[in-house]
A and B are shown apart, each in its own frame.
Chain A
């Protein structure tokens, strides 16, 4: 059904640690992994699934590690990848950094975790908060209190333990919207969407029931109340804790939250609003002598908002030298290791203001033979206090049987996601 064995390899293909779950694939097969990958890399055609004979390798790369699952069945590939990413997440929570050293430093716990995360190829408990209740770094002594299976492991509520206590009951809600944009070289917007996430930091005692109200258009259409601005969400994804069938039937987002930080939901919205920050660029390349770059950045939003930490990253040829910059605001610098000119503006009013940056680079007289790609101009920014989509938290109801009063806090922020503008150089 899924993985026969899971391996953690270093970049040279050496097995750091592994766990054989099913025993139907020879563990020595892993020796074929790196040679296969090398061959693919030479051909420039890597693929996350590779096979050798009737053994299939499904792999991901994380820092200086390869995580590889092997199988010889028609496994559920999406499950395997989702699981491998989950393993990364759990290990990272345990060891802060997941890399070669942290695996070696903690091999006993890694074994314990691998034992608990999957059984016979079936993923089991993968919630790191719950795992931390019974797989602890220190050797566990057989004191009854500590080694009981947390009922959470098998409960329907598998993400929250009972008996959590806070003096002050609060929940913090972050609504973060990332704007993805793709503009082609002649300036037309190819695609533009918003991916929003609602993140929670829950500091609530007991087993609270929460209900989140958004100005979701579908909800308002359903209830017939249509007050103020509503937003149509294209697709919504929820944390395991949200009752999906309830949402499906009446658009209510109801849940028992995980303790601490978690991502409650994410949504996607197709926008037709103008890109918040518009870039026009003219890049002229005079072979064998120089490159001239002119970039115009323009705020296009009606509201009086300010974008912080704006970074316009303009690609330059890899053999460029002697940079010269002139900017109307902010400052620009050359980052040769990334072949970029980066123009930073600390605070950028997005309502109609325009700024300019000029740069020139020298080019060697001997031309570089290698073809270079045409990386796009990318922009990073952050706009606090508001969401482009206009989504708003209308209410957050918190009900716990002890009847305490809890305070919900909300914060909005809009930031750049994959914000790419193709240049014509």
Chain B
């Protein structure tokens, strides 16, 4: 260090030794480790009668001796000796006024209580007493230790002390007690619930002390995680506000608990989302990397709700880059976690880091796991703008010594070529340079990637084949051999000695790996089709090797197919074998979108490091709903109904008969049709007022509110986020019948065939509901899910004050507005109502999955029924997957998740089926015809972001039979999806 000090106040002179000046340690005078006898002496007693001796010492009258003895016991415990035999003697020492001794005894208890449950009860009294000690340190110590004694028998004795500690005047005790609730819940959940501790814990979220709040949040999150359906973390704008306030005051760890908890919340709309983001962004400047990553998680999730054209959205994007870059200066392990997460972030929002390529350049002293991750990100960020630099770097890496790193670097060069077309030529020449190094694994890796480059840019770089062929002999890895053989076969016509080359491989055919054998078989068949005259012998040789001498069924089958093809129809063989190959995609290893969204919700956690959903590696989390990003909801226009605007200009009014209302109810129906979903907060106060009403559904204060609005508040028009332009003030005017048609149009446009709507069934028979009969069905119209109800009054008295509510269900279905029954329902009257539904309600997995429990209230009583909805109404309009993504996803989903179903006797051909399915948002992505059998590939996206991929095989006949294979990350939905297929195709 230099010696000079620059003064701010010139009159004071500098001093050289200020570093050593002044009182160094105010509180640590007694901390002279060197001069004191160390604890290591306790580890030295290894005599035979040790236990016996310790026993005597523990029961000594002298306090000092007792303490020394306990220390020896703990020392033995630490080195793994079994000292459980001393249990009663140690517990006897518990009643002491020496804090250090007490801590040691407690430590002993935690370790051995489980093995001595009966004796552990001896300790209960002391715990109870200690929880009332005047010293808060002792109270906290007692309550902390209590929870760690995982003995069922004694837990109930601990409830009273815990209850007191939760209300302790000292925050140190309260924060410890809060955690103890989570501990106790882990041992005996029922007990905790019965004792009402969960409520007390919830109350602590409003505690005046930030540390208590943080621990209460942590404890609740922990409990909620193991009981996903408990709805414990009942997050609402008020509680969120409290958390955000505590965020500014608590310790770094508390901030992480709170941020992780916030990440579970789904804001109501973009404005709430923005205001939370604004209050979370300052955390990006925290010195603790874990705080930063948790903040990034919240921001990445909530950003999803912001409209992209919002200025704030751009600001936020800019704010995210610098802290992410700074994470790369953290300790290597934290860097690793950060890099794995950056890998996700770059896939989700490439724009954030697109200018930051340089920071991912590898340093010589980076640990290998950091190097490999940086490489991955470099490739993801590679673009035309930075490719020159990237290539120079990759070339540098390819000459390093670390084999895995070098391999990956070579592979990366190939990937750059495929990704950035302009760089392909440079990449190829770089690869050729590398092949010249003759370093065996570099050459092999290069050949593997060159094969891909040939696939991507056919007829461009084949001139390098000669160089590749020179290295034939040095290839000893199956992947490289297979790649080389593929190249030779593919370009057989340009390689003079292709037959010789391939023949040379044939000699050791049976020693090759399957990969190489298959490739060789195909290559020789290609060669034969290209140069039939010279290679007849060769092809026969390989076919017999494959079919007769091999035990491998794949190889044999392929051999037979070729054989038959060649012998029956050489022209067809040529078409099949030499068919034009589909292009390979630019990006590799992309994470499938549903999974990516889920992982973004888990930033910073193990899931984000493994790139696997938690359900894949955490036991007991199978049934847990996958986390997902919130849907974007605008506050101005109803995003859910993009087609309604066109409705006015539409030409083919196609009114579904079921919802043409009787004249008197027309107005009510109109309101329903275009009612905005509750996630949409309108710009006018009246709208939000209406939604408040919707939430307060069974309260009853709603009628007046609506009644008032119907009367003709012009603001109402604005509330119908969906179609303000279409019906500006017409609400005030008398509504003619024609208008009804106009609005129904919304359902027709954009759905050529119309979605399948199952026939109405009786859900609630009159005899079960004091005369109220309810039948209904579900429909999806212009992206809005509708529950269409027919209410019939079969009783003698008039029914009024209708309201409806759903129980939590698998897909978060909830009424998007109140049930619009405006006039009293007289005896024997029937009314048809359609209720728009949203999918942002609370989620709980139901059995069967599409079960919905409904409560309907009227002036007489509350009635309950359950019904099942066709899952097809959850299929969203943007469910058409990119072909490439489809392929990757199909491959990526494990085969265990595939289920197959049959549909017999259907009269539709594949064309008609495809059209019909499209009407229900089941999109055909590709079609293939194999031997007269049509194969359709389809994708479906559910409202909660789950993708379902389907392969539909149409066995032509009269009638047709279909075979459906469904693949999905959440295989639970397959059965329901199949039911929809059946319903759609058969109706």
Binding site for B on A (CB under 8 A): 1, 15-17, 20, 22-24, 44-49, 51, 54, 56, 58-60, 71-79, 81-85, 94-96, 101, 104-108, 111-112, 115, 119-126, 129, 132-134, 136-142, 144, 147-149, 153-156, 158, 161, 164, 166, 168, 170, 172, 182, 184-185, 190-191, 195, 201, 203, 234-240, 243-245, 247-248, 259-260, 263, 265-266, 268, 308, 371-376, 382, 384-385, 393, 395-396, 407-413, 418, 420, 422
**A242 CB to closest chain B CB, in angstroms?**
8
Query: Does B289 contact A78, Cβ atoms closer than 8 Å?
Result: yes
List residues of chain B with CB within 8 A of the CB of A72.
618-619
B253 touches A122 (CB 8 A): yes
B209 neighbours in A (Cβ, 8 Å): 154
Query: Smallest CB-CB separation from A85: which chain B residue?
Result: B331
Chain A residue nearest in CB terms to B111 = A20
> Are B401 and A372 within 8 A (Cβ)?
yes
A107 to chain B, nearest CB (A): 5
20 A-B interface contacts by CB (under 8 A): A48-B369, A74-B617, A77-B606, A85-B331, A85-B334, A96-B33, A120-B182, A124-B175, A147-B99, A147-B137, A148-B135, A149-B170, A235-B322, A237-B323, A240-B287, A374-B399, A374-B401, A408-B9, A409-B18, A420-B364
Chain A residue contacts of B3, Cβ below 8 A = 384
Given contacts A60-B331, A190-B361, contact A203 B175 (CB under 8 A): no
Q: Are B253 and A104 in contact (CB under 8 A)?
A: no
| Segment touching A, from B35-43, B464-472, B543-551 | B35-43
Q: Are A154 and B212 closer than 8 Å at their CB atoms? A: yes
Q: Once the chains bind, are B286 and A238 in contact (CB under 8 Å)? A: yes
Knowing A239-B287, A407-B12, the reply to whether A268 touches B2 (Cβ < 8 A) is: no
B interface bracket (residues with beta carbon within 8 Å of A): 35 or more
Per-residue interface assignment for chain B, residues 357 to 373, with 1 indicating a CB less than 8 Å from any chain A CB and 0 otherwise = 01101011101110000
Pick from A47, A263, A268, A407: contact of B322, CB under 8 Å: A268
Instruction: Return chain A residues, CB-CB under 8 Å to B71.
Output: 108
- Of all chain B residues, the one with the shortest Cβ separation from A134 is B137
Choose among A23, A73, A308 the residue that contacts B618 (Cβ–Cβ < 8 A).
A73
Query: Per DSSP, are chain A's interface residues mostly helix, strand or loop, or mixed?
Result: mixed
Q: Which A residues touch B40, using CB under 8 A?
A: 101, 104-105
Q: Contacts A107-B74, A126-B253: A191 and B361 contacting too (C-beta < 8 A)?
A: yes
Per a CB cutoff under 8 Å, which of B26, B253, B609 touches A124?
B253
| Residue B275 lies at the interface, judged by CB distance under 8 Å to chain A | no
Asked if B104 CB lies within 8 Å of chain A CBs, one says yes
Residues of B within 8 A of A395 (CB): 8
Q: Which residue of chain A is the closest to B328 with respect to CB atoms?
A: A268
Partner of A140, one of B27, B100, B288: B100
Which among A73, A94, A154, A385 has the highest number of chain B CB atoms within 10 Å?
A: A154
Q: Interface stretch among B214-222, B509-517, B944-952?
A: B214-222
In the bound complex, residues from chain B placing their C-beta under 8 Å from that of A191 are 358-359, 361
Q: Is B329 part of the contact surface with A, judged by Cβ < 8 Å?
A: yes
Picked from A82, A122, A373, A412, the residue with its CB within 8 Å of the CB of B6 is A412
Complex alpha-carbon distance, A54 and B27, angstroms: 44
B367 surroundings in chain A (CB, below 8 A): 46
The verdict on B183 contacting chain A, using a C-beta distance below 8 Å, is: yes
The answer for the CA separation of A191 and B400 in the assembled complex, in Å, is: 19
Contact between B99 and A133, CB atoms less than 8 A apart: no
Known: A81-B290, A147-B135, A235-B322. A142 touches B252 (CB 8 A): no
A48 touches B294 (CB 8 A): no
Q: Which of B607-651 contact A (CB under 8 A)?
A: 607-610, 614, 617-619, 621
Q: How distant is the Cα of A407 from the Cα of B336 in the complex, in angstroms?
A: 42
Does the CB pair A73–B136 fall under 8 Å? no
B2 and A308 form a contact (CB under 8 A): yes
B1 at interface, CB cutoff 8 A: yes
The residues of B that contact A248 with a CB separation of less than 8 Å are 281-282, 285
CB of B369 within 8 A of CB of A142, answer no
Interface positions, chain B 20-41, Cβ under 8 Å from A, are 22-28, 30-31, 33, 36, 38-40
**A235 touching B323 in the complex, CB below 8 Å, given contacts A96-B33, A203-B22, A408-B8:** yes
Task: Assess the A410–B6 pair: CB atoms within 8 A.
Answer: yes
| B294 to A: closest C-beta gap in Å | 7
B393 within 8 A of A: yes
Known contacts A137-B33, A140-B99, A158-B251: A149-B172 contact under CB 8 Å:
yes
Whether B559 sits at the interface, judged by CB under 8 Å, is no
Task: Give bound CA distance, A237 to B330, whole Å.
Answer: 12
Contacts of B363 in A (CB 8 A): 182, 418, 420
Whole-angstrom distance between the alpha carbons of A72 and B225 in the complex?
13
Is A105 touching B4 in the complex (CB atoms < 8 A)?
Answer: no
Shortest distance between the CB of A21 and any CB in chain B (Å): 8
A60–B287 Cα gap in the complex (Å)? Answer: 19
- Complex-state Cα separation, A235 to B289, whole angstroms: 13
Please, which residues of chain A bring their CB within 8 A of the CB of B74?
A: 107-108, 111
Identify which of A49, A104, A144, A422 contacts B396 (C-beta below 8 A).
A422
Residue among B31, B103, B322, B609 making CB contact with A77, cutoff 8 Å: B609
- Please give, as numbers and ranges, the residues of chain B lying within 8 Å of A140 by CB-CB distance: 98-100
A79 touches B361 (CB 8 A): no
Which residues from B are CB-within-8-Å of A148?
135-137
In the bound assembly, the distance between CA atoms of A154 and B169 in angstroms comes to 12
Taking a contact as CB atoms under 8 Å apart, the answer to whether B361 and A182 are in contact is yes
